[in-house]
Amino acid sequence: YTRDILVCDIHNRERSRKVLENCSDGLVYGLSDILAEPIQNSGYNEQYGLLGSNKASEETLKLFPRTGHELVEDIAKLFKEKTGKEVEVMVYGDGAFKDPVGRIWELADPVVSPAYTEGLGGVPHEVKIKYLADYTFSELSGEELEEQIRSAIRAKADDGDKSSMSSEGTTPRRIVDLLGSLADLTSGSGDKGTPVVLIQGYFDSLAE
């Protein structure tokens, strides 16, 4: 129907663009190509362009953050100076979840968190307590069962194996995606006016 195409989907944008480029001899642009660099004195996002932007007024857009790394490091440093405590900090937008009733896919941003401190990298390394209680230690109960589960949790920190049966069924998502979804559900997007979400105990373990 047309030679020139603007790819407007978000999470499958690279695949969509590749498919369209292979079957079109025209121009194929993505939203990430628009405002990837400043036009006159405009804002820009070199990585995401218009992806993750929000309408601020009839004439202006608020682009996805691009300088968040300096912000999270500065906040973590300030907490350390003022309180002596080590904290992890992240900038989050939409949570990575889909509403089971309304069927609304919440994540309209290209990523959940565009910036976070180093300690929030990676994915959780956990064991499934239900599997340990129902299968591995099914003959135990009470304090004896609890102690065996604690021992299994302590042991998994050394083996590094995330493919074992005791780990299957645990959420294989990135820590920032899990915490960003939690924070988004807490702060909401309406009139709650929540500027900061404090999450405590996420890295605590039953074995401690």
Q: Are residues 13 and 107 in the same domain?
A: no
Q: Are residues 119 and 176 in the same domain?
A: yes
Q: Of 14, 46, 64, which closes a domain?
A: 64
How many other C-beta atoms are found inside a 10 Å radius of the C-beta of residue 21? 14
How far apart are alpha carbons 149 and 92 in whole angstroms? 34
Q: Are residues 24 and 78 in the same domain?
A: no
Read off the pLDDT of each residue in 57-69 and give the average, rounded to a whole number.
92
Q: Are residues 11 and 26 in the same domain?
A: yes
- pLDDT of 131 higher than 80: yes
Q: Are residues 178 and 149 in the same domain?
A: no
Q: Are residues 119 and 132 in the same domain?
A: no
How many other C-beta atoms are found inside a 10 Å radius of the C-beta of residue 35? 20
Q: Where are the beta strands (DSSP E) in the chain?
A: 5-7, 28-30, 54-55, 61-62, 90-91, 115-116
Q: Are residues 134 and 46 in the same domain?
A: no
Residue 88 is predicted with a pLDDT of: 97
Q: Which domain holds residue 9?
A: 1-64
How many domains in the chain? 3
Q: Are residues 91 and 1 in the same domain?
A: no
Q: Of 64, 80, 105, which closes a domain?
A: 64
Q: Of 64, 84, 100, which closes a domain?
A: 64
- DSSP letters, 6-25, are EE--STTHHHHHHHHHHH-S
Residue 25 is predicted with a pLDDT of: 84
Contact criterion met (CB below 8 Å) for 19 and 38: no
How far apart are alpha carbons 66 and 17 in whole angstroms? 23
Residue 180 is predicted with a pLDDT of: 93
Q: Tokens standing for 203?
A: 């890295």
Q: Are residues 185 and 85 in the same domain?
A: yes
How far apart are alpha carbons 123 and 175 in whole angstroms? 5
Q: Are residues 120 and 33 in the same domain?
A: no
How far apart are alpha carbons 204 and 197 in whole angstroms? 18
HSE (side-chain half, CA atoms, 13 Å) at 14 = 3
Closest CA to 33 of 49, 13, 17: 49
Pairing of strands 90-91, 115-116: antiparallel
Contact criterion met (CB below 8 Å) for 66 and 85: no
pLDDT tens column, 8-28? 989 899 999 999 988 888 899
The mean pLDDT value of the chain amounts to: 87
Residue 80 is predicted with a pLDDT of: 97
Q: Are residues 44 and 111 in the same domain?
A: no
Q: Are residues 104 and 178 in the same domain?
A: yes
